Structure 1
Amino acid sequence: MSFLSAEHVEVPGLESLQVLASTTPSTAFVALNLREPPYDDVRVRRALRAGMDIIGLVEQFHPGARVARTLTPPELLAGSEMAPLPAPDVALAEQLLRDAGLRRLKLTLHHPVGRDTSTEDAVLFRPLMQAGLLQLEHVELAPEEYLTRLRDGKMSAFRTLWLADFPDPDTFLYFLLNSSAQTVYPVGYRNPELDRITSEARVSIDPELRQQLYVRAEHLFRDDCPLIPLYHERVHAAASAAVQGLRLHQTPPQVRFETLWVDPNTTE
Structure 2
Amino acid sequence: MRWRPTQTTGRAGRLNGVTFIAIPDRAVAFQAYQAGEVDIIQPDPGDVPGIQNDSALSQAYTQYSGACTESYELNLTIPPFDEKLVREAFIYAYDRDAYIRDILQGTSVKTLTWIPPGFPGHDPDETRYDFDPERARTLLAEAGYPNGEGLPEVTLTYVSDDPAAESAATYLVQRYQENLGVTITTSALDGTTIDELIVDVETHPQMVLSSWCAEYPDPKVWLSDYWHSRTDLASSFGYANPEVDRLLDEADRERDEATRLALYQQAQRLIIGDAPQIIRSHSINSFLIKPTFDGFDFTSQDWLFPGQATGLMQVTGTSSE
TM-score of the alignment, normalized to the shorter chain, above 0.5: yes
Structure 1: runs of 5 or more not aligned: 264-268
SS of alignment partner, residue 176 of structure 1: helix
Bigger shift: residues 82-91 or 152-161? 82-91
CA contact (8 A) 1:32 1:39 kept: yes
Give me the whole-angstrom Cα distance separating, in 2, the residues matched to 1:236 and 1:131: 31
Give me the whole-angstrom Cα distance separating, in 2, the residues matched to 1:126 and 1:221: 28
CA contact (8 A) 2:111 2:282 kept: yes
Give me the whole-angstrom Cα distance separating, in 1, the residues matched to 2:173 and 2:242: 31
Identity among equivalent pairs (%): 21
Please state how far the C-alpha of 1:241 moved relative to its aligned partner.
Answer: 4.1
CA contact (8 A) 1:16 1:240 kept: no
Corresponding letter in the other structure for 2:161: G
Q: As a proportion of its length, which structure holds more strand?
A: 1
Structure 2: runs of 5 or more not aligned: 1-38
Bigger shift: residues 146-155 or 25-34? 146-155
Please state how far the C-alpha of 1:126 moved relative to its aligned partner.
Answer: 4.3
Q: Map of 1:100-249 to 2, 5 A cutoff?
A: 100-103=143-146, 104=148, 105=151, 106-115=153-162, 117-124=165-172, 126-131=174-179, 133-153=181-201, 154=203, 155-183=205-233, 186-249=236-299
SS of alignment partner, residue 279 of structure 2: strand
Report the TM-score when normalising by structure 1: 0.86
Please state how far the C-alpha of 1:138 moved relative to its aligned partner.
Answer: 1.3
Please state how far the C-alpha of 1:122 moved relative to its aligned partner.
Answer: 4.3
Structure number, greater radius of gyration:
2
Query: What residue number does 1:66 align with?
Result: 109
SS of alignment partner, residue 232 of structure 2: coil
CA contact (8 A) 2:74 2:237 kept: yes
CA contact (8 A) 1:66 1:232 kept: yes
Larger RCO (alpha carbons 8 Å, 6+ apart) = 1
Corresponding letter in the other structure for 1:69: L
CA contact (8 A) 1:90 1:128 kept: no
Q: Which of 40, 43, 64 is matched with 1:2 structurally? A: 40
Q: What is the aligned-residue RMSD (CA, Å)?
A: 2.5
Please state how far the C-alpha of 1:49 moved relative to its aligned partner.
Answer: 0.4
SS of alignment partner, residue 113 of structure 2: coil
Query: What residue number does 2:123 align with?
Result: 80
Query: What residue number does 1:37 align with?
Result: 79
Give me the whole-angstrom Cα distance separating, in 1, the residues matched to 2:159 and 2:52: 29
SS of alignment partner, residue 186 of structure 2: strand
